[in-house]
Amino acid sequence: MPGSSGHSVAKAWPLAAGALLLALLWLGPLPIRAEGSFAAHMVMHMGVVALAAPLLAVGLARLLPASVARLTPSVAIVASFAEFAAVWAWHAPALHDAARVEPAIFVLEQASFLTVGLLVWTSAIGAADSRRPAARAAGIGALLVTSMHMTLLGGLLLFAPRPLYACAALCSPAATLTPLGDQQLGGAIMLAVGGSAYLAGGLVLLASILRDPASAAGGSE
């Protein structure tokens, strides 16, 4: 039926948009640029976790609402710690340098970013549709904790007095930037995109709870 087909397309467009964005990030010029530019590498990272992952999560929540809404609070909590571990581990100098020069390690890095980002956003969006206060609180906490640690890491990269990675000397950074300037630009991108996206997600989820009469009534009891 035409109406049903249109409704399905309306539900599925975030999933398609997220998949298209991943294709542009991974199959476009960025992977080659990222070999010699920390900032380009960060654009890919933020594109995966702060843009593609929430789009995919919204698409999954629309297509499988009952399944996503059943995610327990512990999933959001574990997901936030998993993303913290993945993001900080992959920005440790040894692992980051390896991902910049070894294709297999780069693929593993990007796959882990997508996995943990999708877990955080899906559990948080599932919490938004849940009537369980604990689930909603966990979803808000997962997004805000992720925003805080990305802000902290972005600030560290932005204000570090020297390049933190050997790849800054081994690779060829963007022609107009020094290795330190390239790293600082990457830190600014993490602050502006990563910290802001997760903070905005947490605040939107909090606002949806405050607007929900059932939640307000439950919280006042």
Question: Residue for token digits 């009537």?
Answer: 131
pLDDT at 207 over 60: yes
Each residue's pLDDT tens digit, 156-196? 999 999 999 887 655 555 557 888 999 999 999 999 999 99
Q: What is the pLDDT of residue 135?
A: 77
> Looking at residue 7, what is its pLDDT?
58
Cα Dmax for the chain: 62
Name the residue with higher pLDDT: 184 or 7.
Answer: 184
Residue 69's pLDDT band, with cuts at 50, 70 and 90, is: confident
pTM, entire model = 0.86
Instruction: Tell me: pLDDT of 216 over 50.
Output: no
pLDDT, greater one: 221 or 43: 43
Query: What pLDDT shows up at residue 214?
Result: 56
Of 42, 118, 54, nearest in space to 83 by CA: 118
Q: Is 217 exposed, middle or buried (0-12, 13-18, 19+ CB in 10 A)?
A: exposed
Over residues 82-128, the pLDDT tens digits come to 999 999 999 999 999 999 889 999 999 999 999 999 999 998 887 76
Give the per-residue pLDDT at 159.
96
Asked whether residue 29 carries a pLDDT value surpassing 70, the answer given is: yes
Q: Is the separation of the CB atoms in 42 and 109 below 8 Å?
A: no
Residue 59: its H or E element: helix 53-63
Radius of gyration of the chain (CA): 19
Residue 220: what pLDDT? 43
- Identify the top-confidence range among 56-65, 124-133, 134-143: 56-65
What's the rounded Cα separation, in Å, for the pair 144 and 201?
A: 8
Instruction: State yes or no: pLDDT of 131 exceeds 70.
Output: no
Q: Is 59 exposed, middle or buried (0-12, 13-18, 19+ CB in 10 A)?
A: buried
- 3: pLDDT strictly greater than 60: no
